[in-house]
Each structure stands twice: as structure tokens, then as C-alpha cells.
Structure 1
Amino acid sequence: MASPQESTQKFRWHYADFDDSRFPNPGRSLFFFVVLISIILLVALLFLYARWACNVEYSPPPAPPHPTISSAPAPPWGLDSTTINCLPIVLYKASVDAGSIMESECCICLGMFGDGDKVKELPGCKHVFHSECVDKWLNTHSSCPLCRASLRADSPV
């Protein structure tokens, strides 16, 4: 056992007395650690910048106003109300007429025709629809809803 005099003796050494030559990388380990942390921090900052740059929305510059060629309004897509009202209205009859079978349902509302229903027959293609259904269709379109044949008088088709 150590004497009391030896245990009270202070341990004295100086940093210059410390020999670090026994370590595998004497004096270089702190430098490599700082370089490694710096590289990791740089890569993380580049990643965050790339993410921010990709999330910025692209807004194109405003387009210059187009000059109007004429002030006349564009022709409507549908037919006018007088043309729609001139279409023939017939009463539906569920029988074979002259060797041809009439359609049994309105392809616009998918409702079945009943005997005595008022249906409109379109000229040219002879397709029939409920009057209310085809009137709504023809206000916005100028063709048959089933075969898309044009109903305009000025149409070449």
C-alpha cells in the first residue's frame, strides 16, 4: 500500500511532455475530423439549395395582348331558336314502320320512349330524341348527338 505521503503528492505533467507518437495518426486525427464534418455540411447545404430551387414555381411572363381582327361576335356553336323550333315533332309509336325500326330510347337522357311521346326527328339522319332533350343539345351544338351529322344549312356535309 502507498504511504500517505505518496497519495498526497500531486500528479504534475505538461502538455509538451505528452508524446502522441504511439497513436496511429499522431496530430492528424482532429484535422481529418474537421474536414469530414465540413464536407458533410457542404453536401447537406447543396442538397437543401437544390430542393429549394426545384420547388420554386415557374411563372412565364405575361403574354402580350392579341389584337382583335374584327369586332363582330363569333358565330354561336349551337343552332338558333327558330331553326330548332322548325324541326318536325312526331308522336312515337312502338311499331315497325315501312320495314325500319325506330329507336326505342333517347340517347341524351337514356330514357325510354313511350307510345304517344313527342319526339323530334332530325333531318338527314332521321334520329329521334325527346323534344326537351334535343332542344337543350341543339342550343349548344349544331350536330346530331348520336351520329354527329351537321344540321347547319350552310354546312357542306
Structure 2
Amino acid sequence: MASSQDSQPFHWHSDFDDRNFQIRGRTVFFVIVLLSLIVLVTLLILYARWVCRFRPPFAADLHHAPPAPPQGLDPATIHSLPIILHRSSATTTITSINEVECCICLGIFQDGDKVKVLPECHHSYHSQCVDKWLRTQSNCPLCRASLQGHSAV
């Protein structure tokens, strides 16, 4: 019995007769609306991808203004800053040098090094180190005290 059931082909019985298939007015309307929505959503997605690819985001335009170029001191002001020769046991009348290293290059001050003392905060640095800094910045590298008001004497 099992072998006779296996040999018979399976027949799908359907009550749906496609020879009399008809689409009425309301169905045609919904099909057209559905296809129109699919096309519209596809076009919107493609447009959004195109806009995002070729234009920067709008919020980035508002919040990211180009940074202002750093304003350094003019060469005459830089050269007018006092320079002293470092001595490990020396006491100076200009300022008391408590620093033992240059905060820019992290080099320890040696006897005879040219040390430049900033007038506002009295921090000291190697002359060549602080000169490079002051060409692009107008403040102390350590405490950020402004040197803009300092005039050449």
C-alpha cells in the first residue's frame, strides 16, 4: 500500500480559476497607489544618499568655523625680552629663577645657558625654545599668561 501511494503524482486542487481573473476598479486604484509609493520612497532614498555623499551635513556648516590662525608676537617684541645667563647658584635682581628645566624642550638648564625670562609671569625658558614658541603664540607656554600687552622697551 505504501508503494502505491508513492507512485501517484501529487495534484494541487485549487478552486481558483485564472481564466476568469478580473481586477476591478478599487483594486486597480490600490495597486497604482502602492506602486507609486514604492517608487516615491525609492527616489527619496536615492536623493538622500546623493545629498549626503556630495554635500557636508548642514549642522557641520554652523558649528565648525575655520579656526583663527595663531597670532604670535612680532620679532622686535621677542628680541626685547630680557635674556640672562643661567648660573646654578646665582641670584638675580630681575627675577628669582626657581625653574631648573625648560618646559618647552624639557632640557635642564646648564651653567652659561641663555635663559629668556617672560615679563608677565617670570617663567624662564631657553632663549631659542621660547623664541620659536612666541613666533606663533602670544602667551607663556606654561601658565598661558598673555604677552600681547608687553611693548618693546
User: Residue 93 of structure 1: CA displacement?
Assistant: 3.3
Aligned residue for 1:49, secondary structure, equals: helix
What residue ranges of structure 1 are gaps of 5+ in the alignment?
Answer: 1-20, 61-75
Partner of 1:79: 73
Q: Aligned pairs, how many?
A: 117
The answer (yes or no) to whether the contact 1:79–1:142 under 8 Å persists in 2 is yes
1:53 aligned residue (22, 43, 47): 47
Report 1 or 2 for greater relative contact order, CA contacts < 8 Å, sequence distance ≥ 6: 2
**Where do residues 7-156 of structure 1 align in structure 2 (5 Å cutoff)?**
22-23=15-16, 27-28=20-21, 31=23, 41-54=35-48, 55-56=50-51, 57-58=54-55, 77-95=71-89, 97=91, 102-153=98-149
Change in 2 beyond 3 A, CA 1:94/1:48: farther
Change in 2 beyond 3 A, CA 1:118/1:154: closer
Percent identity between matched residues is 49
User: Residue 132 of structure 1: CA displacement?
Assistant: 1.0
TM-score (norm 1): 0.53
Q: Distance in 2 between matches of 1:95 and 1:40?
A: 91
User: Residue 49 of structure 1: CA displacement?
Assistant: 0.7
Q: Distance in 1 between matches of 2:19 and 2:91?
A: 108
TM-score (norm 2): 0.54
What residue ranges of structure 2 are gaps of 5+ in the alignment?
Answer: 1-13, 59-69
Q: Distance in 1 between matches of 2:144 and 2:15?
A: 93
Greater C-alpha radius of gyration: 1
User: Residue 119 of structure 1: CA displacement?
Assistant: 1.3
Change in 2 beyond 3 A, CA 1:105/1:47: farther
| Aligned-pair Cα RMSD in Å | 4.1
